[in-house]
């Protein structure tokens, strides 16, 4: 994308790590965002929209794989909250910029960890499973 002349914004929860990993790459901007915090997602989208025009490409890359049980700020189980709800909120917040582009694209990526278990639709928050494990 960069070699094609694109300006790239990389949202990151840990700005120091992102700056370190991306230093020296032209046309890349790092901005603060935590997919587990809906207020952070909204602020990122608002700030990005103020500084930029249309959005040609949004890549939602799953950020959490196999991890210990944890919750995001809103109370969602962390994998679901970050990989799904965080990206959904980001995409919705950037829809006006996507619709303003000539041929916008949204790409959502995941990892192979989804093969380890199906979605437990009757217990998406993992409350029943955790109660069974803890008892």
Burial, 81: exposed, middle or buried (Cβ in 10 Å; 0-12, 13-18, 19+)? buried
Looking at the DSSP bridge assignments, the partners of residue 60 are: 108
- What global pTM score does this model have? 0.78
Q: Give yes or no for residue 56 having a pLDDT over 50.
A: yes
Average pLDDT score over residue span 10-25:
93
Q: Which domains does the chain have, with CATH numbers?
A: 33-134 (3.40.50.720)
Q: Comparing 72 with 90, which gets the higher pLDDT?
A: 90
Max CA pair span of the chain: 56
- What digits encode the pLDDT tens for the residues 91-127? 999 999 999 999 999 998 876 666 666 667 777 666 7
Q: Report whether 86 contacts 134 (CB < 8 A).
A: no
pLDDT band at 128 (very low <50, low <70, confident <90, very high): low
């Amino acid at each position: 994308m960069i070699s094609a002349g694109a300006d790239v914004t990389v949202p990151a929860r840990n700005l120091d790590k992102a700056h370190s990993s991306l230093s020296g790459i032209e046309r890349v901007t790092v901005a603060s965002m935590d997919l587990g915090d809906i207020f952070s997602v909204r602020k990122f989208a608002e700030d990005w929209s103020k500084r930029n025009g249309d959005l040609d490409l949004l890549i939602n890359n799953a950020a959490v794989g196999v991890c210990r049980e944890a919750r995001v700020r809103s109370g969602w189980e962390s994998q679901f909250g970050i990989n799904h709800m965080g990206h959904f909120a980001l995409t919705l917040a950037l829809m006006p910029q996507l619709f303003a582009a000539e041929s916008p694209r949204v790409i959502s990526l995941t990892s192979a960890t989804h093969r380890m278990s199906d979605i437990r639709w009757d217990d998406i928050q993992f409350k029943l499973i955790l109660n069974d494990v803890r008892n």
